[in-house]
Amino acid sequence: MKKVAVILSGSGVYDGSELQEAIVTLLSLDRAGVQAVCFAPNIEQHHVINHLTGEEDSAASRNVLVEAARINRGDVQDLANCVVEEFDGVVVVGGFGVAKNLSDFAINGAQSTVDSTTLFALKEFSKLSRPALYMCIAPALLPCVYGKGVELTIGNDPATIEAIEAMGGIHIERDVEGIVVDETRQVISTPAYMLAQSISQAATGIENGVTQLVKMMA
């Protein structure tokens, strides 16, 4: 059975992983006969958002690894302990946690950096040419992981595209169901909730991405 590392960034779209994207990803991998193992870095969140009101709770603090455990029934591991050689591929789920916890892209845009534990793991996957799927805002990490010239999509948001291209990424517009495949780097990307208006729309693109990932792992 093929095995894929699924990297999460907390729990909740505004300060962690986008839950619907995470669940669709895990379901799609399971249906494809792939074992998914969830990981998250053991770091504090950038901040905590009240998802009912959309407001920041400045008095609260949460741990990314602890919060990510909510998504997969407690079955999540510290990303620092990920043995990349044991996996056939990797998926990075979207949500603002990617741009706030796994990196500071939401704050610093084109001058952003990636959390050191996350960057090390993702670079190891790239060095071993393991196929990778990045969704939603997660493709913003790709220039830091693969360097200039990596082909990707986040949909069609002009400001995000401008920042990614300033970092050296090559952006290709896709609709919500579409994917971009950088064959040279073995990287797939799909817009998911950067464009989706419903879970079914997000699911179609994610499922297409998972299908391509499984094909590339074979």
Indicate which residues carry an active-site annotation: 136
Distance between CA atoms of 142 and 153, rounded to whole angstroms?
Answer: 10
Q: Are 32 and 210 in contact (CB under 8 A)?
A: yes
Check residue 139 and report its DSSP letter: G
**Contacts of 205 by beta carbon, 8 Å cutoff, 6+ apart:** 135, 176, 177, 178, 179, 190, 191, 192, 196
Check residue 67 and report its DSSP letter: H
Total length of the chain = 218
Distance between CA atoms of 39 and 111, rounded to whole angstroms?
Answer: 26
Answer positive or negative: Cα dihedral of 118, 120, 125, 126. positive
Q: Are 160 and 171 in contact (CB under 8 A)?
A: no
Give the C-alpha distances (Å, rounded to integers) separating 115 from 3, 161, 171. 24, 21, 23
Half-sphere exposure of 186 (CA within 13 A, CB side): 20
What are the tokens at 174? Answer: 């896709």
